Amino acid sequence: MGKKDASARGVVVIGLGRFGGQVAESLTELGHEVLGIDENAEIVQKLADTLTHVVEADSTDEEALRQIGVAEFNRAVVGIGTDIEASVLTVLALTELGVEEIWAKAISVKHARILERVGARHVVLPEADMGARVAHLVTGKLLDFIELDDGYAIAKVCPPDEFAGSTLAQLGLRSRHGITVVAVKRPGTEAETAVPETVIGSGDMLIVSGPTEKVERLGEQGGFARS
């Protein structure tokens, strides 16, 4: 696989446990070329028929990574969890090999900061992120909630029945609530991009975005309300 092809479709996934393995399998299902790496021979054998390529190797060894072609890739995911030293050394090795886009799993905020300092462009805290997400769903009226890195959030919410028959322009949700309706999903159909003329129907679900605190307030208040 050449550098150009790897840049376009290929991703290296290192650490094929529960998190990394799921990422690798999902990338494969989406049509991406995946090079999976793990030091556990049993895991490698288990995924041999699932991933495009899977190799048993020590990911902290820069030369070993070079020999199996990791330097040809522009994107990598490091799914190593509890072994913080191996996680950090792997990200450092990828950085030295010139891999530009590195996503890495962290198990704590301190771990995340170290990963960022040695070259990880994107750090994922799965347990913390999922915990925050579940908290929003349990305590509010949001159907789903995802917070992005820059204080911005996206959520799904059901509008009250009295919204049915009104357009988004008539409801003025952006001016009154400070959030934007980006799409509307009607029962049994795919979500459609929202425009001011979009008419809200009974049973519709709205996909909204905006500053995290305003989206959270929407959930705490039980959704939208007319003024």
Residue 81 structure tokens: 């969890």
Report the C-alpha gap between 105 and 20 in whole angstroms.
9
The answer to whether the CB of 161 falls within 8 A of the CB of 167 is no
pLDDT tens digits for range 187-216? 888 888 989 999 988 888 888 888 877 777
DSSP string of 102-157, one letter each residue:
EEEE-SSHHHHHHHHHHT-SEEE-HHHHHHHHHHHHHHSS-SEEEE-TTSEEEEEE
CA 140 to chain centre: 22
Q: Is 199 helix (H, G, I), strand (E, B) or coil?
A: strand
The answer to whether the CB of 86 falls within 8 A of the CB of 79 is no
pLDDT value at residue 3 = 46
The answer to whether the CB of 194 falls within 8 A of the CB of 181 is yes
pLDDT tens digits for range 53-95? 999 999 999 999 999 999 999 999 999 978 999 999 999 999 9
The answer to whether the CB of 145 falls within 8 A of the CB of 136 is yes
pLDDT tens digits for range 119-178? 998 888 776 565 565 555 555 556 677 766 667 878 888 887 888 899 999 988 888 888
